[in-house]
Structure 1
Amino acid sequence: MGRGKIEIRRIENSNNRQVTYSKRRNGLIKKAKEIAVLCDAKVSVVILGSSGKMHDFCCPPNSLVNILDQYHTQSGKRLWEARHESLSGEVDRMKKENDNLQIKLRHLKGQDIASLNYRELMILEDGLENGLTCIRNQKDELMKTYRRNQKLLEEENRELHFHLQQRDAVMAESMRMAGAGSGEGGGDYNSQLPFAFRVQPIQPNMQERI
């Protein structure tokens, strides 16, 4: 049995569409390789999938530009002519803008200003003064922030130093009291106990009185 015909229309199922795309793409590139080898032909194939990913084949390698030039010469048609003109105009515009910026930068550095007239020099001077004012304001703001932070750090340092001094004083007093209680003549141990645990002195003749 022969293979049935497939209706050429968009495959609605995304999974089936992706599988078919991969198979047909690989088959097309394979045929391009075969015709390039068997017939010694110059072949270039570019495939852009719906996801935007590009697959290409070119034989001889890296000869796509040459193949396109030959196509343009023999067919008399230009591929992406309008697009190329638009891109060329955009590149020229960006180059011109970059040149103007380079000139302005040299003027700001005080270079190549001999050709400027009085009005242009006044505009340049005003721009520099405005820039200096903004820079100075930003510098002053940063200095205020730095001093404020430094003051807060100094206050925290003084507070920590005060707490450390208090702690050292308490520890020194505790050590002094401990040394006084355990040394010779350092206090009556019995007097430091609660009243209920104090040893009462034996009174003379107590037994005789009973």
Structure 2
Amino acid sequence: MARGKIQIRKIENSTNRQVTYSKRRNGLFKKASELTVLCDAKVSIIMVSCTDKLHEYISPSVTTKQFFDHYQKASGIDIWNSHYEKMQEELRQLKEVNKNLTRQIRQRLGDCLENLGFEELLDLEKESQEAVVIVRERKLKVIGNKVETLKKKVRSAQDVYKKLMHEFDIRGDDPQYGMIDDAGEYETMYGYPPHMAVEPPHILTLRLQPDNLHAVSSDLTTYALLG
């Protein structure tokens, strides 16, 4: 059964379009390889898909540069020179852009103002004022963020302090716990160095044995609450 003739037009379905591209690309490369072997021809095919993927085939007997040299010789077109001229033009345009930007930066620093007219100076002043407003807003935003961060840290420290004080109050209700607020008093009262002494405020809790709550010689266990 003969195959039906396919209408040559763009395939709308992207998946089918990609499949057709891959199949026909491989077919072209196969034909190019056969031409290279059968006819001793130098063949080069360059393809770019709709997804911007580059595919190329070139005869194994030549490099890409050699092939373009052959093309240049056969066509009489100096493609390298035209490419060099194009690159030189792009370089000239980039240098001009860089020159203009450098001049604008120096003008905003107060230099290169001699050749500016009155209207140009007014425009420069307006742009500078707008830039100052933007910078000031950005600075205030940064300061505000730092202040908010500091407030959060303060609130966190206050929460920790309240929690510690709450625990301290609970222990204060227990007759097994007592308070001492000075490390010197601690040494005077109990006759040995306070190994758990901290910098002021010196607040410690002391746990006394249940059988002798008022005995000074009782076994003492100290807990540092606040440093």
- Normalised by the shorter chain, which TM-score bucket? 0.5 to 0.7
Residue 185 and residue 104 in structure 1: after superposition, are their counterparts in 2 closer, same or farther (change >3 A)? closer
Quick one: distance in 1 between partners of 2:157 and 2:70?
Answer: 77
Aligned pairs for 1:167-178 (under 5 A) are 167-174=167-174, 175-176=176-177
Residue 110 and residue 61 in structure 1: after superposition, are their counterparts in 2 closer, same or farther (change >3 A)? farther
* Structure 2: runs of 5+ lacking an equivalent: 179-206, 216-227
Residue 5 and residue 30 in structure 1: after superposition, are their counterparts in 2 closer, same or farther (change >3 A)? farther
Contact 1:44 1:56 in 2 (8 A): yes
Structure 1 length-normalised TM: 0.55
Which one has the largest radius of gyration?
1
Aligned to 2:162: 162
Residue 46 of structure 1 aligns to which amino acid in structure 2? I
Quick one: distance in 2 between partners of 1:139 and 1:110?
Answer: 23
Deviations, residues 11-38 of structure 1 (Å, cap 9, x unaligned): 99x5984675255233223124326xx6
Q: Which moved more, 1:140-149 or 1:49-58?
A: 49-58
Q: Which of 26, 29, 33 is equivalent to 1:26? A: 29
Aligned to 1:62: 64
SS in 2 for 1:160: helix
Contact 1:44 1:67 in 2 (8 A): no
Bigger share in helix: 1
**Higher relative contact order structure (alpha carbons within 8 Å, sequence separation ≥ 6):** 2
Residue 208 of structure 2 aligns to which amino acid in structure 1? G
Deviations, residues 149-190 of structure 1 (Å, cap 9, x unaligned): 32343133123212202212323543338736422789xxxx
The alignment of Structure 1 onto Structure 2 pairs a total of residues equal to: 169
Residue 137 and residue 181 in structure 1: after superposition, are their counterparts in 2 closer, same or farther (change >3 A)? same
Residue 112 of structure 1 aligns to which amino acid in structure 2? C
Structure 2 length-normalised TM: 0.52
* Structure 1: runs of 5+ lacking an equivalent: 79-83, 187-210
Bigger share in strand: 2
Q: Give the C-alpha shift of residue 128 in structure 1.
A: 1.5
Aligned to 2:135: 135
SS in 1 for 2:46: strand
Q: Percent identity?
A: 14
